[in-house]
Amino acid sequence: MATPQTTLTIPALNSHLAQVFAQYPIEVAHGEGVWLHARDGRKILDFYGGHAVAGLGYGHPRWLAALERQARQMAFQTNALPMVIRERAAARLTKFVGLGLDTVFWINSGAEANENALKVAFKQTGRSKIVALEQGFHGRTAAAGAVTWGAFEKWYGFPRRPFDVRFAPRDKPAAVDEFVDRETAAVIVEPVQGVGGAYDVGKPMLQALRRRCDEVGALLIFDEVQCGTGRTGAPFAANFYGVVPDMITAAKALGNGFPVSALLMSQRVAGHLKHDDMGTTFGGGPMACAVAEAVIDTIESESLLANVRQVSAYICSSCIIGPVTGVQGAGFLLGLKTSRPAKEVQAALLAKNILTGTSADPNILRLLPAYILNEGHVDQLSDALSRISA
Protein backbone atom coordinates (compact mmCIF):
# COMPACT_ATOMS: atom_id res chain seq x y z
CA MET A 1 0.00 0.00 0.00
CA ALA A 2 1.25 3.53 -0.77
CA THR A 3 2.74 5.44 2.18
CA PRO A 4 0.49 8.35 3.22
CA GLN A 5 1.98 11.74 2.39
CA THR A 6 2.09 14.32 5.13
CA THR A 7 2.88 17.34 2.96
CA LEU A 8 1.83 18.31 -0.51
CA THR A 9 4.94 18.39 -2.67
CA ILE A 10 3.77 19.34 -6.13
CA PRO A 11 5.66 22.58 -6.79
CA ALA A 12 4.86 22.63 -10.49
CA LEU A 13 1.16 22.54 -9.67
CA ASN A 14 1.40 25.29 -7.07
CA SER A 15 3.97 27.69 -8.37
CA HIS A 16 1.63 30.05 -10.23
CA LEU A 17 -1.21 29.99 -7.74
CA ALA A 18 -1.81 32.70 -5.14
CA GLN A 19 -0.62 31.23 -1.87
CA VAL A 20 -3.74 31.99 0.15
CA PHE A 21 -5.03 28.52 1.00
CA ALA A 22 -3.83 26.08 3.64
CA GLN A 23 -3.87 22.74 1.85
CA TYR A 24 -4.45 19.17 2.89
CA PRO A 25 -1.77 16.63 1.96
CA ILE A 26 -3.76 14.92 -0.79
CA GLU A 27 -3.56 15.49 -4.50
CA VAL A 28 -6.88 14.41 -5.92
CA ALA A 29 -6.78 12.63 -9.25
CA HIS A 30 -10.46 11.77 -9.56
CA GLY A 31 -13.62 11.20 -7.57
CA GLU A 32 -16.42 8.67 -7.65
CA GLY A 33 -19.50 8.88 -5.42
CA VAL A 34 -18.20 9.57 -1.90
CA TRP A 35 -14.66 8.47 -2.74
CA LEU A 36 -11.60 10.50 -3.65
CA HIS A 37 -8.78 8.79 -5.51
CA ALA A 38 -5.46 10.40 -4.71
CA ARG A 39 -2.56 10.44 -7.13
CA ASP A 40 -0.46 8.43 -4.66
CA GLY A 41 -2.91 5.54 -4.93
CA ARG A 42 -4.91 6.16 -1.79
CA LYS A 43 -8.71 5.85 -1.82
CA ILE A 44 -10.16 8.34 0.64
CA LEU A 45 -13.67 8.38 2.08
CA ASP A 46 -14.85 11.96 1.77
CA PHE A 47 -16.89 13.46 4.62
CA TYR A 48 -16.03 16.98 3.49
CA GLY A 49 -17.61 17.12 0.02
CA GLY A 50 -15.43 19.88 -1.41
CA HIS A 51 -16.61 22.26 1.32
CA ALA A 52 -20.29 21.25 1.18
CA VAL A 53 -20.48 21.39 -2.61
CA ALA A 54 -20.62 17.74 -3.69
CA GLY A 55 -24.17 17.02 -2.50
CA LEU A 56 -24.72 14.29 -5.10
CA GLY A 57 -21.16 13.03 -4.79
CA TYR A 58 -18.62 12.92 -7.60
CA GLY A 59 -19.52 12.03 -11.16
CA HIS A 60 -23.25 11.50 -10.60
CA PRO A 61 -24.62 10.26 -13.95
CA ARG A 62 -27.64 12.60 -13.98
CA TRP A 63 -25.47 15.62 -13.23
CA LEU A 64 -23.01 14.61 -15.96
CA ALA A 65 -25.82 14.01 -18.45
CA ALA A 66 -27.39 17.41 -17.75
CA LEU A 67 -24.06 19.17 -18.21
CA GLU A 68 -23.25 17.36 -21.41
CA ARG A 69 -26.71 17.81 -22.91
CA GLN A 70 -26.74 21.51 -22.18
CA ALA A 71 -23.14 22.08 -23.30
CA ARG A 72 -23.94 20.55 -26.67
CA GLN A 73 -27.20 22.46 -27.07
CA MET A 74 -26.10 25.93 -25.88
CA ALA A 75 -23.29 26.41 -23.38
CA PHE A 76 -23.91 30.05 -22.68
CA GLN A 77 -26.30 32.84 -23.46
CA THR A 78 -26.88 36.24 -21.89
CA ASN A 79 -29.89 37.04 -19.73
CA ALA A 80 -30.96 39.46 -22.46
CA LEU A 81 -32.01 36.42 -24.51
CA PRO A 82 -34.80 34.40 -22.87
CA MET A 83 -34.14 30.67 -22.51
CA VAL A 84 -36.50 27.91 -21.48
CA ILE A 85 -33.88 26.19 -19.28
CA ARG A 86 -33.44 29.36 -17.19
CA GLU A 87 -37.20 29.63 -16.59
CA ARG A 88 -37.58 25.92 -15.99
CA ALA A 89 -34.77 25.78 -13.41
CA ALA A 90 -36.21 28.80 -11.56
CA ALA A 91 -39.64 27.15 -11.48
CA ARG A 92 -38.05 23.90 -10.27
CA LEU A 93 -36.13 25.66 -7.49
CA THR A 94 -39.09 27.72 -6.25
CA LYS A 95 -41.30 24.61 -6.23
CA PHE A 96 -38.64 22.73 -4.25
CA VAL A 97 -38.47 25.52 -1.64
CA GLY A 98 -42.19 26.32 -1.55
CA LEU A 99 -42.88 28.89 1.17
CA GLY A 100 -43.87 31.59 -1.32
CA LEU A 101 -40.28 32.45 -2.24
CA ASP A 102 -41.25 32.45 -5.88
CA THR A 103 -38.75 34.73 -7.60
CA VAL A 104 -35.18 33.75 -8.46
CA PHE A 105 -32.17 35.85 -9.42
CA TRP A 106 -29.36 33.57 -10.65
CA ILE A 107 -25.76 34.43 -9.85
CA ASN A 108 -22.50 32.52 -9.47
CA SER A 109 -21.27 32.29 -5.89
CA GLY A 110 -22.49 32.43 -2.32
CA ALA A 111 -20.92 35.80 -1.61
CA GLU A 112 -22.49 37.28 -4.74
CA ALA A 113 -25.91 36.01 -3.72
CA ASN A 114 -25.53 37.59 -0.27
CA GLU A 115 -24.18 40.81 -1.76
CA ASN A 116 -27.33 41.13 -3.87
CA ALA A 117 -29.66 40.18 -1.01
CA LEU A 118 -28.19 42.96 1.14
CA LYS A 119 -28.42 45.49 -1.69
CA VAL A 120 -32.06 44.62 -2.26
CA ALA A 121 -32.76 45.08 1.46
CA PHE A 122 -31.13 48.54 1.53
CA LYS A 123 -33.00 49.65 -1.58
CA GLN A 124 -36.35 48.39 -0.37
CA THR A 125 -36.19 49.76 3.18
CA GLY A 126 -34.12 52.91 2.61
CA ARG A 127 -32.22 52.00 5.79
CA SER A 128 -28.50 51.55 6.29
CA LYS A 129 -27.94 48.98 9.04
CA ILE A 130 -27.59 45.18 8.95
CA VAL A 131 -27.74 42.81 11.89
CA ALA A 132 -25.75 39.59 11.59
CA LEU A 133 -24.94 36.89 14.13
CA GLU A 134 -21.70 36.30 15.97
CA GLN A 135 -19.69 33.43 14.42
CA GLY A 136 -21.61 33.83 11.12
CA PHE A 137 -19.85 33.55 7.74
CA HIS A 138 -21.27 35.08 4.58
CA GLY A 139 -18.41 35.39 2.08
CA ARG A 140 -15.37 37.40 1.09
CA THR A 141 -16.71 40.34 -0.93
CA ALA A 142 -17.23 43.88 0.42
CA ALA A 143 -20.78 43.51 1.75
CA ALA A 144 -20.70 39.77 2.52
CA GLY A 145 -17.38 40.20 4.34
CA ALA A 146 -18.75 43.17 6.27
CA VAL A 147 -21.44 40.95 7.82
CA THR A 148 -19.02 38.08 8.51
CA TRP A 149 -18.02 37.75 12.15
CA GLY A 150 -14.34 38.54 12.74
CA ALA A 151 -13.57 39.35 9.10
CA PHE A 152 -12.75 43.00 9.69
CA GLU A 153 -10.13 42.06 12.28
CA LYS A 154 -8.69 39.17 10.25
CA TRP A 155 -8.84 39.47 6.46
CA TYR A 156 -11.40 42.04 5.30
CA GLY A 157 -8.94 44.31 3.45
CA PHE A 158 -11.31 47.07 2.38
CA PRO A 159 -10.61 50.33 4.24
CA ARG A 160 -14.02 50.46 5.90
CA ARG A 161 -17.32 48.58 6.01
CA PRO A 162 -19.75 49.93 3.41
CA PHE A 163 -22.65 50.16 5.93
CA ASP A 164 -23.38 49.80 9.65
CA VAL A 165 -23.31 46.29 11.04
CA ARG A 166 -24.18 44.95 14.47
CA PHE A 167 -23.43 41.41 15.53
CA ALA A 168 -25.94 39.79 17.88
CA PRO A 169 -25.21 36.70 20.00
CA ARG A 170 -26.30 33.55 18.20
CA ASP A 171 -27.87 31.90 21.23
CA LYS A 172 -29.94 34.65 22.88
CA PRO A 173 -33.42 35.00 21.39
CA ALA A 174 -34.26 37.37 24.27
CA ALA A 175 -31.55 39.81 23.12
CA VAL A 176 -32.86 40.13 19.56
CA ASP A 177 -35.04 43.21 20.28
CA GLU A 178 -32.02 45.11 21.55
CA PHE A 179 -30.14 44.65 18.26
CA VAL A 180 -32.84 44.77 15.60
CA ASP A 181 -34.54 48.18 15.44
CA ARG A 182 -36.25 50.59 13.03
CA GLU A 183 -32.92 51.47 11.43
CA THR A 184 -32.29 47.85 10.50
CA ALA A 185 -32.66 47.08 6.79
CA ALA A 186 -32.17 43.34 7.23
CA VAL A 187 -31.00 40.54 9.45
CA ILE A 188 -28.78 37.96 7.75
CA VAL A 189 -28.41 34.58 9.41
CA GLU A 190 -27.21 31.07 8.59
CA PRO A 191 -29.89 28.87 10.21
CA VAL A 192 -27.18 26.28 10.73
CA GLN A 193 -23.81 28.02 10.85
CA GLY A 194 -21.16 26.26 8.78
CA VAL A 195 -17.78 27.88 9.37
CA GLY A 196 -19.00 28.79 12.87
CA GLY A 197 -18.90 25.07 13.77
CA ALA A 198 -21.98 23.33 12.30
CA TYR A 199 -23.94 25.19 14.93
CA ASP A 200 -27.71 24.92 14.87
CA VAL A 201 -29.00 28.45 15.59
CA GLY A 202 -32.32 26.81 16.34
CA LYS A 203 -36.02 27.50 15.93
CA PRO A 204 -36.52 29.84 18.95
CA MET A 205 -33.78 32.18 17.67
CA LEU A 206 -35.07 32.11 14.08
CA GLN A 207 -38.63 32.72 15.30
CA ALA A 208 -37.47 35.64 17.44
CA LEU A 209 -35.70 37.16 14.43
CA ARG A 210 -38.78 36.70 12.23
CA ARG A 211 -41.08 38.29 14.81
CA ARG A 212 -38.77 41.25 15.42
CA CYS A 213 -38.17 41.86 11.70
CA ASP A 214 -41.94 42.02 11.20
CA GLU A 215 -42.32 44.40 14.13
CA VAL A 216 -39.74 46.91 12.88
CA GLY A 217 -40.16 46.46 9.10
CA ALA A 218 -36.78 44.80 8.49
CA LEU A 219 -36.19 41.96 6.04
CA LEU A 220 -35.01 38.52 7.10
CA ILE A 221 -32.36 36.84 4.94
CA PHE A 222 -31.45 33.17 5.41
CA ASP A 223 -27.96 32.50 4.09
CA GLU A 224 -28.41 28.87 3.07
CA VAL A 225 -25.30 28.73 0.95
CA GLN A 226 -23.96 25.91 3.11
CA CYS A 227 -26.99 24.57 4.99
CA GLY A 228 -29.48 24.70 2.08
CA THR A 229 -30.32 22.58 -0.98
CA GLY A 230 -31.10 19.44 0.96
CA ARG A 231 -28.30 19.49 3.50
CA THR A 232 -30.55 19.52 6.58
CA GLY A 233 -32.65 16.67 5.20
CA ALA A 234 -35.32 19.18 4.17
CA PRO A 235 -35.27 21.21 0.93
CA PHE A 236 -33.96 24.24 2.83
CA ALA A 237 -33.37 25.06 6.48
CA ALA A 238 -36.39 27.38 6.25
CA ASN A 239 -38.49 24.25 5.63
CA PHE A 240 -36.62 22.33 8.31
CA TYR A 241 -37.38 24.95 11.00
CA GLY A 242 -40.75 26.12 9.66
CA VAL A 243 -39.61 29.75 9.72
CA VAL A 244 -40.10 31.70 6.49
CA PRO A 245 -37.58 34.42 5.60
CA ASP A 246 -38.02 37.16 2.98
CA MET A 247 -34.99 35.98 1.04
CA ILE A 248 -32.88 32.83 0.84
CA THR A 249 -29.44 32.61 -0.71
CA ALA A 250 -28.35 29.23 -2.09
CA ALA A 251 -25.12 28.02 -3.72
CA LYS A 252 -22.62 25.19 -3.12
CA ALA A 253 -24.66 21.93 -3.39
CA LEU A 254 -27.08 23.63 -5.79
CA GLY A 255 -24.53 23.11 -8.57
CA ASN A 256 -22.75 20.03 -7.18
CA GLY A 257 -19.50 21.49 -8.47
CA PHE A 258 -20.66 23.69 -11.33
CA PRO A 259 -20.70 27.32 -10.11
CA VAL A 260 -24.26 28.48 -9.55
CA SER A 261 -26.00 30.47 -6.85
CA ALA A 262 -29.48 31.84 -6.42
CA LEU A 263 -31.23 34.62 -4.56
CA LEU A 264 -34.79 33.56 -3.79
CA MET A 265 -37.25 36.32 -2.95
CA SER A 266 -40.79 36.56 -1.65
CA GLN A 267 -43.33 38.66 -3.51
CA ARG A 268 -42.97 41.35 -0.84
CA VAL A 269 -39.35 41.77 -1.98
CA ALA A 270 -39.52 40.91 -5.68
CA GLY A 271 -42.49 43.26 -6.17
CA HIS A 272 -40.14 46.22 -5.65
CA LEU A 273 -37.56 45.21 -8.25
CA LYS A 274 -37.02 47.36 -11.33
CA HIS A 275 -35.00 46.73 -14.46
CA ASP A 276 -31.29 47.16 -13.83
CA ASP A 277 -31.53 46.84 -10.03
CA MET A 278 -29.28 43.77 -10.33
CA GLY A 279 -27.20 42.32 -13.13
CA THR A 280 -24.69 39.60 -14.05
CA THR A 281 -22.97 38.13 -17.08
CA PHE A 282 -22.63 34.49 -16.10
CA GLY A 283 -25.53 34.20 -13.65
CA GLY A 284 -28.43 32.30 -15.19
CA GLY A 285 -26.15 30.68 -17.75
CA PRO A 286 -27.83 27.66 -19.30
CA MET A 287 -25.30 25.12 -18.00
CA ALA A 288 -25.62 26.44 -14.45
CA CYS A 289 -29.40 26.25 -14.74
CA ALA A 290 -29.31 22.76 -16.24
CA VAL A 291 -27.23 21.43 -13.34
CA ALA A 292 -29.37 23.15 -10.71
CA GLU A 293 -32.44 21.53 -12.23
CA ALA A 294 -30.70 18.14 -12.38
CA VAL A 295 -29.51 18.43 -8.76
CA ILE A 296 -33.03 19.12 -7.47
CA ASP A 297 -34.54 16.40 -9.68
CA THR A 298 -31.99 13.92 -8.36
CA ILE A 299 -32.46 14.88 -4.71
CA GLU A 300 -36.19 14.21 -5.14
CA SER A 301 -36.18 11.18 -7.42
CA GLU A 302 -33.51 9.35 -5.40
CA SER A 303 -35.16 10.21 -2.04
CA LEU A 304 -31.94 11.79 -0.84
CA LEU A 305 -33.60 13.99 1.78
CA ALA A 306 -34.85 10.86 3.58
CA ASN A 307 -31.36 9.36 3.27
CA VAL A 308 -29.78 12.47 4.81
CA ARG A 309 -32.19 12.29 7.76
CA GLN A 310 -31.66 8.58 8.32
CA VAL A 311 -27.87 8.53 7.96
CA SER A 312 -27.50 11.73 9.98
CA ALA A 313 -29.33 10.06 12.87
CA TYR A 314 -27.00 7.08 12.50
CA ILE A 315 -23.93 9.36 12.69
CA CYS A 316 -25.33 10.95 15.85
CA SER A 317 -25.90 7.56 17.47
CA SER A 318 -22.70 5.80 16.38
CA CYS A 319 -19.93 8.39 16.20
CA ILE A 320 -19.73 9.53 19.82
CA ILE A 321 -16.67 7.43 20.30
CA GLY A 322 -12.90 7.86 20.75
CA PRO A 323 -12.16 11.60 20.90
CA VAL A 324 -15.77 12.57 20.06
CA THR A 325 -17.88 13.67 23.01
CA GLY A 326 -21.02 14.95 21.28
CA VAL A 327 -22.63 16.08 18.02
CA GLN A 328 -24.23 19.37 16.96
CA GLY A 329 -25.75 20.72 13.76
CA ALA A 330 -28.41 19.22 11.52
CA GLY A 331 -28.66 16.68 8.70
CA PHE A 332 -25.35 16.46 6.87
CA LEU A 333 -23.94 19.65 8.37
CA LEU A 334 -22.69 18.10 11.57
CA GLY A 335 -20.07 19.12 14.09
CA LEU A 336 -18.41 16.37 16.10
CA LYS A 337 -17.30 17.84 19.42
CA THR A 338 -13.77 16.68 20.15
CA SER A 339 -11.96 16.28 23.46
CA ARG A 340 -8.68 17.07 21.66
CA PRO A 341 -8.08 19.83 19.09
CA ALA A 342 -10.20 18.95 16.06
CA LYS A 343 -7.19 19.49 13.77
CA GLU A 344 -5.39 16.58 15.46
CA VAL A 345 -8.41 14.31 15.05
CA GLN A 346 -8.74 15.42 11.43
CA ALA A 347 -5.06 14.54 10.76
CA ALA A 348 -5.44 11.16 12.48
CA LEU A 349 -8.51 10.38 10.36
CA LEU A 350 -6.76 11.43 7.19
CA ALA A 351 -3.94 9.04 8.02
CA LYS A 352 -6.71 6.39 8.02
CA ASN A 353 -7.94 7.65 4.63
CA ILE A 354 -10.99 9.59 5.84
CA LEU A 355 -11.32 13.27 4.96
CA THR A 356 -13.20 15.57 7.34
CA GLY A 357 -13.28 19.33 7.89
CA THR A 358 -12.58 21.70 10.73
CA SER A 359 -14.25 25.03 11.55
CA ALA A 360 -13.68 28.27 13.42
CA ASP A 361 -14.36 26.34 16.63
CA PRO A 362 -11.11 24.50 17.47
CA ASN A 363 -13.01 21.62 19.06
CA ILE A 364 -15.43 20.93 16.25
CA LEU A 365 -14.73 18.49 13.45
CA ARG A 366 -17.09 19.33 10.60
CA LEU A 367 -18.84 16.73 8.43
CA LEU A 368 -20.37 17.81 5.12
CA PRO A 369 -20.76 14.54 3.22
CA ALA A 370 -22.62 13.85 0.00
CA TYR A 371 -26.31 13.00 0.36
CA ILE A 372 -25.65 9.50 -1.04
CA LEU A 373 -23.55 8.54 2.00
CA ASN A 374 -24.75 5.31 3.62
CA GLU A 375 -24.51 3.65 7.02
CA GLY A 376 -21.62 1.43 5.87
CA HIS A 377 -19.56 4.57 5.26
CA VAL A 378 -20.47 5.83 8.72
CA ASP A 379 -19.31 2.50 10.21
CA GLN A 380 -15.91 3.16 8.63
CA LEU A 381 -15.81 6.59 10.28
CA SER A 382 -16.85 5.32 13.72
CA ASP A 383 -14.37 2.45 13.48
CA ALA A 384 -11.56 4.90 12.62
CA LEU A 385 -12.62 7.23 15.46
CA SER A 386 -12.63 4.33 17.93
CA ARG A 387 -8.97 3.79 17.12
CA ILE A 388 -7.98 7.41 17.87
CA SER A 389 -7.17 8.25 21.47
CA ALA A 390 -9.43 10.68 23.37
**Which residues contribute to the site for ligand PLP (CB under 6 A)?**
109-111, 114, 137-139, 190, 194-195, 223, 225-226, 251
Taking a C-beta distance cutoff of 8 angstroms, is the pair 113, 285 a contact? Answer: no
Using CA atoms of 307, 351, 348, 32 in order, give the dihedral in degrees to the nearest 10. Answer: -20
The alpha-helical segments, DSSP class H, found in 98-243 are 110-125, 142-146, 151-154, 176-179, 203-216, 237-241
Length of the chain: 390
Tell me the closest approach of the beta carbon of residue 53 to ligand PLP, in angstroms. 9
**Residue with smaller CB distance to ligand PLP, 190 or 246:** 190
Coil vs helix vs strand at 338: strand
Tell me the closest approach of the beta carbon of residue 18 to ligand PLP, in angstroms. 15
**Residue with smaller CB distance to ligand PLP, 186 or 378:** 186
Angle between helices 304-318 and 286-301 (to 10 degrees): 70
**Residue with smaller CB distance to ligand PLP, 264 or 348:** 264
Straight-line distance from the first to the last Cα atom of the chain, in angstroms, rounded to the nearest whole number: 27
**Residue with smaller CB distance to ligand PLP, 33 or 196:** 196
- Short-list 279, 297, 300, CA closest to 289: 297
Q: Are strands 364-367 and 333-338 parallel, antiparallel or unpaired?
A: antiparallel
**Residue with smaller CB distance to ligand PLP, 116 or 382:** 116
Q: Are strands 129-133 and 324-330 parallel, antiparallel or unpaired?
A: unpaired
Tell me the closest approach of the beta carbon of residue 253 to ligand PLP, in angstroms. 11
Tell me the closest approach of the beta carbon of residue 1 to ligand PLP, in angstroms. 34
Taking a C-beta distance cutoff of 8 angstroms, is the pair 35, 46 a contact? Answer: yes
**Residue with smaller CB distance to ligand PLP, 33 or 136:** 136
